[in-house]
Amino acid sequence: MKYKSQAVAKPYFIAAIGLFLGQIVFGLIMGLQYVVGDFLFPAIPFNVARMVHTNLLIVWLLFGFMGAAYYLIPEESERELHSPKLALAMFWIFLVAGAATILGYLLVPYASLAKWTGNDLLATMGREFLEQPLPTKIGIVVVALAMLYNLSMTVLRGRKTTINLVMLIGLWGLAIFFLFSFYNPGNLVKDKYYWWWVVHLWVEGVWELIMGAMLAFVLIKVTGVDREVIEKWLYVIIAMALISGLIGTGHHYYWIGAPEYWQWWGSVFSALEPIPFFMMTVFAFNMVNRRRREHPNKAAVLWALGTGVMAFLGAGVWGFLHTLAPVNFYTHGSQITAAHGHMAFYGAYAMVVMTMISYTMPLMRGRAANSRISQVVEMWSFWLMTVAMVFITLFLTAAGILQIWLQRIAAEPMSFMAAQEQVSLFYWMREVSGLIFLVGLVLYIASFFIKGKSEAATA
């Protein structure tokens, strides 16, 4: 760690990991509710568990991105962070707002929560992933703006590199597109159309810039490959991400009332969306193969390679699987979507945050890398979580194919619930995979507490 202020990333990462654990616990509750329908009802109905599961995901990834930004931007800019105090204040505001929101979901009926938090003044709640009460949404904007001010001042007064510029553009994009969450017209088609300007333009747009910058930063550090080479790759990857992803938004516009030309625009451009993810895989492996040093942090290298592969599989391959309009006509809104969502979020965003944490946490704790034994445990957790996620995805895909056949294609289509009962075996297997994922996550957390003899002292 070159600059003292980079240490502000540490609480962000700790919070991220804590919330990640919460996300997985609620994921397991939902997984069980899929097969034991009345589990925890009415204390935690499925919709509440799902809000907690998805909102915790979003919040912990945001914590991860912010922590990553506070770490890498000072280092790239070669100066201290503009205001570490502001960064720390924003951490507490975001943590308290996040925790209060989750408690609100769990303890208060959603309709009452909406009433008490001003949803009648400006209705923004009750839309998938954007369920947060108005004060939370405003809080997200405040935290994001304070962070952007802090980071932009740091970059403006320091060295401008491709990595810190791309990170900054990604974060600005994140904040700007989030503003569409405040636009909720009564017209359902318009509502859905612009809802995707938050959701799609985040995960298939600006978040890819953030991911690319984080991956490039870690790869420079752990491989020692020339910055020029890595930055060129970064530009090409994010160029492809936006060239394919912006019009690729159209793959969400097939069946929501938008004009039918979106079936062409969406199919063609979203079919290109795997390209940037494939390039990330090639990029990561290529750089590691051309490494000019053996970095003592083997676990961080493993995460960097892993995120390249899993992002391509989850976002790229599983996305392509159902993105073409004639296929999507049958797969839309089925377990296929759930399968894709799980592996894409884990492979691209969860793993890139863990790559960053894996690389930076030892440095923030005063060593180049963790002890051998600690790294071995961390790598075990990598494999357990990653393999478990592959199986979760495969089981959900199998459930999805069967569901689509029974409910949408068979000569005598079954009702939704009848088809769900037929596929319950796959839901049980998904739940078992989920338990293995939890074991992996617990090991991951345990790896931070394992001491052992530290590796070489220089990074």
Q: Dump the DSSP string for 131-157.
A: ---HHHHHHHHHHHHHHHHHHHHHHHT
Cβ at position 38, least distance to other proteins in Å: 5
Q: Tell me the residue type at 167.
A: M
Work out which of 128, 159, 294, 457 binds other proteins, going by CB under 8 A: 128
Work out which of 147, 215, 242, 356 binds other proteins, going by CB under 8 A: 242
Helix, strand, coil tally for the chain in percent (to 5):
80, 0, 20
Cβ at position 93, least distance to other proteins in Å: 25
Work out which of 47, 103, 290, 457 binds other proteins, going by CB under 8 A: 47
Which residues in the 209-228 window bind other proteins by CB under 8 A? Answer: 228
If one asks whether residue 190 binds other proteins (CB under 8 A), the answer comes out as yes
Q: Provide φ and ψ at 408, rounded to 5°.
A: -120, -15
CB count within 10 Å of CB 291 equals 14
Q: Which is nearer to other proteins, 123 or 394 (CB)?
A: 123
Q: Tell me the residue type at 311.
A: A
CB count within 10 Å of CB 261 equals 10
Work out which of 253, 345, 346, 426 binds other proteins, going by CB under 8 A: 253
Quote the tokens at residue 256.
Answer: 């929501």
Work out which of 13, 60, 91, 262 binds other proteins, going by CB under 8 A: 262
If one asks whether residue 117 binds other proteins (CB under 8 A), the answer comes out as no
If one asks whether residue 257 binds other proteins (CB under 8 A), the answer comes out as yes
Cα 342 to Cα 391: distance, rounded to the nearest angstrom = 11
Q: Tell me the residue type at 370.
A: N
If one asks whether residue 136 binds other proteins (CB under 8 A), the answer comes out as no
Longest dimension (CA), the chain: 68
Cβ at position 130, least distance to other proteins in Å: 10
CB contact at 8 A, 373 and 318: no
Q: Which is nearer to other proteins, 78 or 421 (CB)?
A: 421
> Per-residue x/- marks for other proteins, 399-438, CB under 8 A?
--------xxx---xxxxx-xx------------------
Work out which of 89, 179, 189, 456 binds other proteins, going by CB under 8 A: 189
If one asks whether residue 264 binds other proteins (CB under 8 A), the answer comes out as no
If one asks whether residue 270 binds other proteins (CB under 8 A), the answer comes out as no
Which residues in the 335-394 window bind other proteins by CB under 8 A? Answer: 335, 337-338
If one asks whether residue 34 binds other proteins (CB under 8 A), the answer comes out as yes
If one asks whether residue 446 binds other proteins (CB under 8 A), the answer comes out as no
Spatial CA neighbour of 334 closest among 275, 409, 265? 409
Q: Provide φ and ψ at 297, rounded to 5°.
A: -85, 85
If one asks whether residue 329 binds other proteins (CB under 8 A), the answer comes out as yes
For CA atoms 90, 78, 13, 390, give the dihedral sign: positive
CB contact at 8 A, 31 and 430: yes
